[in-house]
Amino acid sequence: MMVSESSLFIQVCLTFAAVFIQLYSNNISGPIPSDLGNLTSLVSLDLYLNSFTGPIPEPLGKLSKLRFLRLNNNSLTGPIPKSLINISSLQVLDLSNNHLSGEVPDTGSFSLFTPISFANNPELCGPVTGRPCPGSPPFSPPPPFVPPTPISSPGGVGATGAIAGGVAAGAALLFAAPAIAFAWWRRRKPQEFFFDVPAEEDPEVHLGQLKRFSLRELQVATDSFSNKNILGRGGFGKVYKGRLADGSLVAVKRLKEERTPGGELQFQTEVEMISMAVHRNLLRLRGFCMTPTERLLVYPYMANGSVASCLRERPPSQPPLDWPTRKRIALGSARGLSYLHDHCDPKIIHRDVKAANILLDEEFEAVVGDFGLAKLMDYKDTHVTTAVRGTIGHIAPEYLSTGKSSEKTDVFGYGIMLLELITGQRAFDLARLANDDDVMLLDWVYASDAFFSHFI
């Protein structure tokens, strides 16, 4: 849709109080309003995956609190404003997949951004792109190493040979200098392109209360992801119990690898969104880790496990969940889902509501887990949902047939979870075939004449 500068600014003001502007993937065209530079409390500006044209407004450089600037996948033209280098708080930058031109700044906040932030802009130049700007001298490589000349050898042959060898090596290095220089520049940058953040004395990166863990830290915590520490397996990957250096217990979700080119910053965006969903009945994201081969999420450890485990894996010596507890679980999980649907902007559709994803804290209060992961794992090149996510027996029929999810998708899953909570049965159980019963819990309930006799 074509949006004028004034009308877009009105939409922006509606989100001003939250200091996050998220208008990505809305098919918006036209120029980016320069008045955005007046929103001095803005922290995140996400306009990617639209059809914006024209230059990047110079006044954006006045956004002194801006930490996230994502304008990728538009049709922006012109140079990168020099004013942006003055945003000292800028941590994440993505200008890729546009038609920008000119020299990429390499000072100020831009000094440590990597090539991925500027990819697929063929007319950009400068050291970070690996393309010299017209009229600029070639990139200077690091000085070649020349081995010391031996002191002497009989007949002077050693000295002559060393000089000849040095000349040959120097000539070879001269021809290879451009490649060496660019390779050296690339190697001195962090190769884990999840966060383009300037290095600090403390290598930890915090996003509000969200921490970026090192892979080594999580390997130590989980005893190198030992099988003995596996808490569960699901459609998104395995979950491991871990103990951090400070002694706290965590659950580390090791996501299945579904990476595609350009997905790193999109992944980071969804991690941000998940971390901002804070509610008594939602599992709080404590931190994350991303390397070229791993994506991990870190959550608080829930000592009482999930509703599913309490219903079906409880030792005979322990009493079953009483009815007041089940009622509290039903109400708590409903409050958590309601918050995702009604109070998150954009709203979060869970898409896999089930007893195994409702966790229980020390007080047996329901905590909805795994929210946001379905969308997070969907990211391909085009920011669209590409697969039906969910578990057999919990998936709403219309979602399965159309691939389109909504709040109603979660309401259906919640209803099935309530049946699990009441009956103690699995939503999908082939063992019921032995009694000529339906394998789907919903069908089993419809067909059962003695439904209430199966309560546990």
- CA-nearest of 189, 56, 180 to 115 is 189
Catalytic residue selected from 352, 370, 378, 410? 352
What is the C-alpha separation between 34 and 5, in angstroms, rounded?
8
* 84 closest CA partner among 115, 108, 116, 52: 108
CA distance 72 to 80: 13
- What is the enclosing helix (H) or strand (E) of 289? strand 287-290
Q: What angle do CA 418, 361, 325 make, to 5 degrees?
A: 45
Residues 175, 138 contacting (CB under 8 angstroms): no
Is 317 in a helix, a strand, or coil? coil
Q: Which of 40, 181, 97, 10 is nearest to 383 (CA)?
A: 97
> Which residues are within 8 A (CB) of 451 and not within 5 positions of it... i.e. 6 or more apart?
423, 445
One-letter amino acid identity for 346? P
Q: Annotated catalytic, 352?
A: yes
**Which tokens hold the place of 112?**
């440590």
Whether residue 59 contacts residue 81, with contact meaning beta carbons closer than 8 Å, is answered with: no
* Alpha carbons 419 and 399: distance in angstroms, whole number: 20
CA–CA separation, 33 vs 120, rounded Å? 24
Distance CA 311, CA 325 (A): 12
Question: Residue 404 annotated as binding?
Answer: no
Instruction: Kindly list the catalytic residues.
Output: 352
Mark the binding-site residues, compressed into ranges. Answer: 253
Mark the binding-site residues for ATP, compressed into ranges. Answer: 253
